[in-house]
Structure 1
Amino acid sequence: MGRFPLWVLVFVLVFVKMVVATRGGNAEDVKVWPLPYSVCHGQKKMYMSGDFKLLSHGSKFSDASGILKDGFARFVDLLKLAHAVDGNVSKYDNSSIFVGLNVVILTQHDELQYGVDESYKLLVPSPEMPAYAQIEAQTVYGALHALQTLSQICQFNFKSRIIDVPMTPWTISDKPRFPFRGLLIDTSRHYQPVPVIKSVIDSMAYAKLNVLHWHIVDTQSFPLEIPSYPKLWDGAYSVSERYTMTDAAEIVSYAQKRGINVLAEIDVPGHAFSWGVGYPSLWPSKDCQQPLDVSNDFTFKVIDGILSDFSKVFKFKFVHLGGDEVNTSCWRTTSHISKWLKQQGMNESEAYQYFVLKAQKIALSHGYELVNWEETFNNFGKKLSPKTVVHNWLGSGVAENVVKAGLRCIVSNQDKWYLDHLDTPWQQFYLNEPLTNIKESSQQKLVIGGEVCMWGETVDASDIQQTIWPRAAAAAERLWTPYGKLAKDTTLVTGRLAHFRCLLNQRGIAAAPLAAGGRGTPYEPDSCYKQ
């Protein structure tokens, strides 16, 4: 762990004494979303210095890539975003001035991958103590979460025109309930410009979501450059509604600096009409254009090329191969495929299985583990690679069956966690429990988390954020906060969620009012906190 300076040891000892004396803080006073694992606070106030410093005494982390430095700069910018901080902090006693933050990171590397330790401890002093706060985390990504929490504790004081840190001292120990906490965006149904995707990534970090599931292509368009097969993006809506591979690498890097992995998806063999715009031989025929031609070796060469190019940019452990909603009638009615099926001794269902398993083998050859939509499990679960994560979306009971079969699962059941279902209120997002009817701890561990899905049929750059938020935040707390601390009555968290929604607005994120359901607008004039 390394040697701490004497002042740090004194700080910790005095802090423990202060915390013991101030354990009377009420949970309802804590305006942090998602709710941390453990929180204690006092009733005193500190004031942030205008020259707030970052220190790293005792840290093993060199921050060669600047992730912590950049995260700290974003933290300071967030505090100053809503109002001009132009007050004079020097009129306060030095013991009341919060002059800096010491961040101790206990591992040297900054690799972001599935299962990375995201825990942290946050200690914020009171006026009787040295005026440095302390963050301790195993990894820089835990430290980034701690900065997000601290940013929600701080507030602008309209009288003094400086940043207050109320209810000190604070001691927070925190860690996520699930390692996979995702949000899907769909850039095929409507193109989302790169700055919009970056804004979504920023907002995810505020709620401690850590996986951006990028559903890049679908029937409607193929917007991503694939260097191995450059005609694929002929299937884009227009020449300007495209992403270069450099764009994709920039999105991955931008997300990684905020502790967010990017899960790339190519949905095969269905949902793939757009592939054939550039390469018509991928279609079964000109008149029957999807699913992809299972009988054509070129189909699998293209998939191999895509995943080869993906492996150079998308470094997350998993790739999503889709596999849902496959209507095999084109295979039956297209003569050359029908003939091939007979030669192979396969029916249509067996050809569907053949296609999915062959795509899995290609992905495995590029070093990926696999995610497939639940239809693959429902149809031939025992044949799937043991490295498969089954993505539940259709209904209840699937996760239970998946983990009984020994496979991992992600929960996104559409009746509760589909953001395009505008009639699903935030309360249902909050109450949706991924471990329903899964009692054995060994099986519970196979549910690696959950994901809210922002399908793109009715969202573009104009309305994506107000459709995502605040309902995604309700799911984010379900995925982060320990089960025992989650409210069974959503009225107990309404005020805190409203506070977070207003905080998003103050940070430039167009989160919709709580009372408006999905993607609503305010009903009448009133405070942000009452809408």
Structure 2
Amino acid sequence: MAGDSFKAIPITIIFLLFCIYYVSISRLADSRPLGLDSASQINESHVYIWPLPSEVHSANGTLTVDPDLSLSVTGDGGGSTIVQEAFQRYKSLIFKHNSWFSKFPFSGRTLYDITTLRIIVNSDDETLQLGVDESYTLLVAEKNDHSIIGEATIEANTVYGALRGLETFSQLCSYDYGSKTVIVYKAPWYIRDKPRFPYRGLMLDTSRHYYPVDTIKQIIQSMSYAKLNVFHWHIVDEESFPLEVPTYPNLWKGAYTKWERYTIEDAYEIVNYAKMRGINVLAEIDVPGHAESWGIGYPDLWPSPSCREPLDVSKNYTFDLISGILADLRKIFPFELFHLGGDEVNTDCWNSTPHIKQWLEDHNMTSKDAYQYFVLRAQEIAISHNWTPINWEETFNAFATKLNPKTIVHNWLGGGVCAKAVAKGFRCIFSNQGFWYLDHLDVQWDGVYNAEPLEGIDDLAQQNLVIGGQVCMWGETADSSNVQQTIWPRAAAAAERMWSGREAISTKNVNLTALPRLQYFRCLLTRRGVQAAPVNNFYARSPPTGPGSCYDQ
């Protein structure tokens, strides 16, 4: 599992001096875990971080942050555009309250404690793949007798670790309305952090409802705030085929309208936008079921005009077209994983269509055999294009011994599937619909939070085969008008489960240990322009029932 061999990141001299200072201060920070407040009231003296870091040390100092905060990037990755642009994004979030005021003489402030954010990136390799090192160390030090300069330092092995450190630093910064100054409370800070799982995803279904590119970008941006790192794009389904495929240009005739489409340029833009935020884009083309829309442009893919799915298993043309799609998509999506679906395949069409029924007889196959044949042939095509295939769990449930050993099993129907999959040597992604399907609006935040991807898996080697999990935003009842409040804040509950150590966040009393931090994070999202719903609603995305503080809802 990525990060299990966490490397101590040397901030050497600065850290040693910090330790000397840290042990010498007389008033130590409250020893309780971050967020131990009543569920109904946020403690304004606390600092709330979401998701919870691996290791945190703080004290009781207060530092001011210069609105002209400068950036110093060093190390082999010091020339990274990814880091430079991320710094500007976070600077605009941290100093969104009229920071120009502090530059005037009548503001009464001329000196600040933190004037520089120093980022050390040890590698210039910006390849973004599964298991990339996202660990980081964050030190926020203050001036003292040992002459430590007032600065914040992030050190990471990769630019993507630096991005995660920037998010944490931004959450330490708080705007003080009295002095109109950004302040870091509980300083100095020393944080060492790494993700628990390498795969931490959110799926968006753009077939049941079309989402404009800007909406997709907003969702990806909000994912970065919770340190999610895989955007699973369920692009097409039986209802619509909105994506341009140059080799088969009639496919997107299956879009709802000519305005509800994604060009190749749109897809490139989404992939690049996500990479700048440390997020992989996992594409899905669900076969052989969920594909009726394909036949709008290419009717020969249908078993018959009156029986339109699954795709026709008897024709080589079907597989030639799938290969053409994957060849085109391989030029757009660099992520090593590709989702082939394979779920909810009703083979009645195959049995009732004369030419397919004859093909089954000629090949001595049942319709169940043909389902297996289709899935395995699609896997071979994906692998030939240098992809690792992911399939929904039905394929594992139906013919586990026949699946390609590279297959990643994607759980969704219920519990216990990952335990069975890893016992047979497969990797697994956890998305139990009872907890992590966001279209299930009656699943509340604590149900999401308490779901455990490693439940029932005690063997360490098998635990390492669970690469992570994801929440799924199916689109039958969501579009751009309500998708963000359907996703957030419940997706953040799963995000902490996938990022933070199991021991640190597994507790019976989540209302004391997690709820105040989640309430704070929800309000942080709203301040950043994310339309996150109240945390405590019984029914997701419901509006508040009356007046009250953002933090009490």
TM-score bracket, shorter-length normalisation: over 0.9
Aligned mate of 1:257, from 259, 276, 285: 276
Gaps of 5+ in 2: 1-10, 36-45
Equivalents in 1 of 2:156, 2:466: separation in Å?
25
Shift of 1:21: 3.9
Shift of 1:9: 6.0
Q: Which residue does 1:71 correspond to in 2?
A: 86
Shift of 1:519: 1.1
1:460-484 CA-partner distances (Å, limit 9, x unpaired): 0000000000000000000000011
Query: Would the aligned equivalents of 2:285 and 2:340 in 1 still touch at CA under 8 Å?
Result: yes
Q: Please tell me whether residue 98 in structure 1 is matched to residue 114 in structure 2.
A: yes
Counterpart residue identity of residue 137, structure 2: K
Q: Which residue does 1:51 correspond to in 2?
A: 68
Q: Which residue does 1:125 correspond to in 2?
A: 141
Aligned mate of 2:127, from 96, 111, 127: 111
Equivalents in 1 of 2:181, 2:242: separation in Å?
46
Aligned mate of 1:367, from 386, 395, 416: 386
- What does 1:279-294 correspond to in 2, within 5 Å? 279-294=298-313
Q: Which residue does 1:514 correspond to in 2?
A: 535
Query: Would the aligned equivalents of 1:185 and 1:215 in 2 still touch at CA under 8 Å?
Result: yes
Gaps of 5+ in 1: 1-7
Equivalents in 2 of 1:124, 1:320: separation in Å?
41
Shift of 1:46: 1.0
Equivalents in 2 of 1:9, 1:386: separation in Å?
44
- What does 1:302-381 correspond to in 2, within 5 Å? 302-381=321-400
Q: Which residue does 2:510 correspond to in 1?
A: 490
- What does 1:215-254 correspond to in 2, within 5 Å? 215-254=234-273
Counterpart residue identity of residue 405, structure 1: K
Aligned mate of 1:389, from 391, 408, 415: 408
- Aligned CA-pair RMSD: 1.3
Counterpart residue identity of residue 32, structure 1: I
> 1:514 is paired with a residue of what secondary structure?
coil
Q: Which residue does 1:14 correspond to in 2?
A: 17
Counterpart residue identity of residue 88, structure 1: S
Query: Would the aligned equivalents of 1:54 and 1:102 in 2 still touch at CA under 8 Å?
Result: yes
Equivalents in 2 of 1:228, 1:346: separation in Å?
32
Shift of 1:161: 1.1
Counterpart residue identity of residue 443, structure 1: Q
Query: Would the aligned equivalents of 1:114 and 1:180 in 2 still touch at CA under 8 Å?
Result: yes
Counterpart residue identity of residue 102, structure 2: N
Q: Which residue does 2:230 correspond to in 1?
A: 211
Q: Which residue does 2:456 correspond to in 1?
A: 437
Query: Would the aligned equivalents of 2:426 and 2:465 in 1 still touch at CA under 8 Å?
Result: yes
- What does 1:133-282 correspond to in 2, within 5 Å? 133-282=152-301
Equivalents in 2 of 1:138, 1:10: separation in Å?
18
Query: Would the aligned equivalents of 2:113 and 2:142 in 1 still touch at CA under 8 Å?
Result: no
Equivalents in 1 of 2:176, 2:391: separation in Å?
49
Equivalents in 1 of 2:238, 2:389: separation in Å?
21
Aligned mate of 2:485, from 443, 446, 466: 466
Equivalents in 1 of 2:65, 2:168: separation in Å?
16
Q: Which residue does 1:403 correspond to in 2?
A: 422
Shift of 1:19: 2.7
Q: Percent identity?
A: 52
Which has the higher mean CA deviation after the structures are superposed, 354-363 or 514-523?
514-523
Equivalents in 2 of 1:147, 1:412: separation in Å?
28
1:274-307 CA-partner distances (Å, limit 9, x unpaired): 0000000000000000000000111101100110
Count of matched residue positions in the alignment of Structure 1 and Structure 2: 520
Higher relative contact order (CA 8 A, sep 6+): 2
Shift of 1:352: 0.1
Shift of 1:12: 3.0
Equivalents in 1 of 2:122, 2:173: separation in Å?
26
Equivalents in 1 of 2:293, 2:24: separation in Å?
64
1:483-513 CA-partner distances (Å, limit 9, x unpaired): 1100422202111100000000000000000
Equivalents in 2 of 1:392, 1:10: separation in Å?
47
Q: Which residue does 2:3 correspond to in 1?
A: none
Counterpart residue identity of residue 510, structure 2: T
Structure 1's 510 and 339: CA in aligned 2 closer, same or farther, altered over 3 A? same
Equivalents in 1 of 2:506, 2:467: separation in Å?
21
> 1:476 is paired with a residue of what secondary structure?
helix
> 1:100 is paired with a residue of what secondary structure?
strand
Shift of 1:93: 7.4
1:351-406 CA-partner distances (Å, limit 9, x unpaired): 00000000000000000001000000000011111111000000111111000000
> 2:95 is paired with a residue of what secondary structure?
helix
Q: Which residue does 2:57 correspond to in 1?
A: 40
